[in-house]
Amino acid sequence: MTRHVIALTALALLAPAASAQAGPPGSWTKVTGVGQPDLNISEVGLARTGDGVLHVLWTRGAGLGGDVLHSRVAADAKSVDGPASVFHYPGGVNKSALLLRGPGGGLRAFFSGLSAGSALDEGLATATWAGGGWAVQPTLASNSTPAGLSNVYVAAGIGGALRADGTPIAAWGDSAPGASGYHVGLSPAAPDVPFTSGCCAYDPSVGVDAASGQAVIAWKFIESASGTAVRSLAPTGGRVSPPGGAAADTGTRTAITGRLGGIPGIYLAYQRGDNQFLSRPALWRVGADKPLLLSSSRGARSIGIAPAPGGRLWVFWHRDGSVVARRSNAAATRFGATRTIKPPKGTDTIHRVAGEGSTGPLDVLALIERSSSDLGHWQQRVLPGLTLAAKAKSGHKVLLTVTDAGDAVPGAKVSIAGKSGKTGAKGTLTLKLKQAGSFTAKAGKTGYAGAKAKVKVK
């Protein structure tokens, strides 16, 4: 299908801003909500290009109109460019924007709004970016058939993924029975397909198995009961729910993903429990008998997931006014140290979190409200955490073991009581101290957050 760039309404407030300092480990930078505050229901799209730049797609209302915007976080997380305009809707824009990285390295965006008289009015619109600007497809990437499916403009969340051949699957939720649907491909000639007949489906997303090509849609529902559900789209399957997934924390895209590098498996991160305010974060490999519980503490909200290199997964959430994140091992069967990140000074509320981890660390974006006029997504890079164990041995010796999600970490620097050294191939180091006593050992390595451990030496 021929594509061209649709002319955009010139708005002075959308002129690209000068680069600002971004949030490498230990600091936060505001990325969205620039110029005017976001809505507290806003949901960004995230994707990283091959140059390491993190792209952020977001929407902003402006009176009766609305805009789809694009900002960029540098590969070293030290600067932010934008926002730049992708599209302007005269009548309003949906709060959700989806951004996917195509197999050729470019970006594919999905969004929706009101543009009376335009071919892009109310349905699912799409655009591509290859480094030189945005090209908006002049026709919709949805069909609104069969009858009963909602217009995407009123969608309760927009999510999706790319199949292995680069074909997109985009999905949208709705608060009416049977009104939520998905669309395969980019042609408006292809029908939209409902994925559930119940009421109501919110915040859908899609996970694709990188090895088999299986595609699974996941969403949150509120019927006679609430919870999270998944359904296989290719091949077609029935609706199932993860073990203990009876909580429905709506407002955040359902956390489902495949893994990177052709590694098999589709994984769902969700609230385990029957109350969204008292649930615990869990990870479930779709189809497995049991989930993996990620925290014993209750109250995990806005749970997200992001694939990382080598089959690893990041799972993250917010709780008690902080962002919490953990990264798995390559088998996605164990998780490393819990990282707890305090929000920017003056934060009143964390509404939701999103993240991208394809280069190893996690770039987290938290929708933070500091006042009614200061509400937007803030970014910080989060490093995986080391785990340090210290065990006293005879003769004032201490055995120090450094791991990452259960795997040995060689080359980590460990120090205790004035003694130091580096761990060997098994992640261990033995140091002999001068005297008995209680000590605190420290471990560190480039690319990781450090760890501490206390030990009593006799």
Q: Tens of pLDDT along 122-134?
A: 999 999 998 889 9
The whole-number pLDDT of residue 151 equals: 86
Instruction: Tell me, yes or no, whether 282 and 296 share the same domain.
Output: yes
Mean pLDDT of 43-56: 97
238 lies in a domain? yes
Flag whether 3 is in a domain.
no
Question: What is the percent of the chain with per-residue pLDDT over 70, rounded to a whole number?
Answer: 93
Q: Using alpha carbons, select from 398, 386, 417, 376 the residue that is nearest to residue 458.
A: 398
Q: What pLDDT is recorded for position 346?
A: 95
Residue 290 has pLDDT above 50, yes or no: yes
Mean pLDDT of 258-280: 95
Q: Is residue 45 scored above 90 in pLDDT?
A: yes
Altogether, the residues listed in the chain come to a count of 458
Amino acid at site 154: V
Both 123 and 165 in one domain: the answer is: yes
Helix (H, G, I), strand (E, B) or coil at 311: helix
Q: Is residue 161 domain-shared with residue 245, that is, in the same domain?
A: yes
Q: What is the average pLDDT across 62-89?
A: 92
- The predicted pLDDT at position 18 comes to 44
Domain boundary among 331, 364, 382: 382
> Same structural domain for residues 254 and 192?
yes
Band (300; pLDDT cuts 50, 70, 90): very high
Residue 62 included in any domain: yes
Mean pLDDT of 336-353: 96
Answer yes or no: is pLDDT of 10 > 70: no
Same domain, 410 and 373: no
Residue 275 lies in a domain: yes
Asked whether the predicted pLDDT for residue 146 surpasses 70, the reply is no
Query: Is residue 55 one of the residues assigned to a domain?
Result: yes
Of 382, 407, 435, which residue is a domain's last? 382
pLDDT at 75: 96
Asked if residue 392 and residue 276 are part of one domain, the reply reads no
For residue 273, how many C-alpha atoms fall within 13 Å in the half-sphere facing its CB? Answer: 19
pLDDT of residue 185: 96
Which residues neighbour 6 within 8 Å (Cβ) at sequence distance 6 or greater? Answer: 87, 120, 136, 138
- Distance, in Å, from the CA atom of 325 to the CA atom of 316, rounded to the nearest integer, reads 4
**319 close to 334: Cβ distance less than 8 angstroms:** no
Sorting pLDDT into bands at 50, 70 and 90, what band is 148? low
Looking at the fold, whether 359 and 395 belong to one and the same domain comes out as no
* CATH number of the domain residue 392 falls in: 2.60.40.10
Whether residue 217 is found in the same domain as residue 142: yes
On whether residue 2 sits in a domain, the answer given is no
409 contacts: CB under 8 Å, gap ≥ 6: 386, 402, 403, 423, 427, 445, 448
Instruction: Decide if pLDDT at 58 tops 80.
Output: yes
- Same-domain status, 417 and 367: no
- Whether residue 235 is preceded by a cis peptide bond, meaning omega within 30 degrees of 0, is yes
Instruction: Give whole-number Cα distances, 60 to 79, 141, 159, 178, 275, in Å.
Output: 22, 21, 18, 28, 31
The reply to whether 340 and 397 lie within a common domain is no
Give the CA distances from residue 233 to residues 18, 168, 215, 256, in Å, rounded to whole numbers and listed in that order. 43, 13, 5, 14
Note whether 318 and 407 are same-domain residues. no
* CA dist., res. 388 & res. 386, Å (int): 6
Assess whether pLDDT exceeds 90 at residue 214.
Answer: yes
Question: In terms of pTM, does the model score above 0.85?
Answer: yes
Q: Which CATH number belongs to the domain containing residue 353 in this structure?
A: 2.120.10.70
Can you tell me which residue has the tokens 């305090």?
A: 342
CA-angle at 219, arms to 62 and 306, nearest 5°:
80
| 255-258, strands of its sheet edge to edge | 255-258, 266-272, 280-285, 292-293
Domain that holds residue 446: 387-457
Per-residue model confidence (pLDDT) at position 19? 52
Whether residue 149 lies inside any domain: the answer is yes
User: How many domains in the chain?
Assistant: 2
158/206 Cα distance (integer angstroms): 10
Query: Is the domain of 54 the same as that of 75?
Result: yes
pLDDT band, very low/low/confident/very high, at 444 (cuts 50, 70, 90): very high
- How far apart are alpha carbons 410 and 443 in whole angstroms? 11
Average of pLDDT values for 228-235? 92
> What is the arithmetic mean of pLDDT over 431-450?
96
d(CA 291, CA 5): 46
Neighbours of 73 (CB within 10 A): 27
Residue 269 has pLDDT above 80, yes or no: yes
Across residues 24-40, what is the average pLDDT?
93
Last residue of a domain, one of 382, 406, 424: 382
- Distance of alpha carbon 283 from alpha carbon 325, whole angstroms: 13
pLDDT band at 64 (very low <50, low <70, confident <90, very high): confident
Whether residue 298 is predicted with pLDDT greater than 60 in this model: the reply is yes
Burial track 426-448 (b if 16+ CB lie within 10 A, e otherwise): ebbbebebeeeeebebbbbbeeb
Distance CA 322, CA 438 (A): 31
Summarised one tens digit per residue, pLDDT across range 179-212 is: 889 999 999 999 899 898 777 899 999 999 999 9
Site of tokens 């649709």: 6
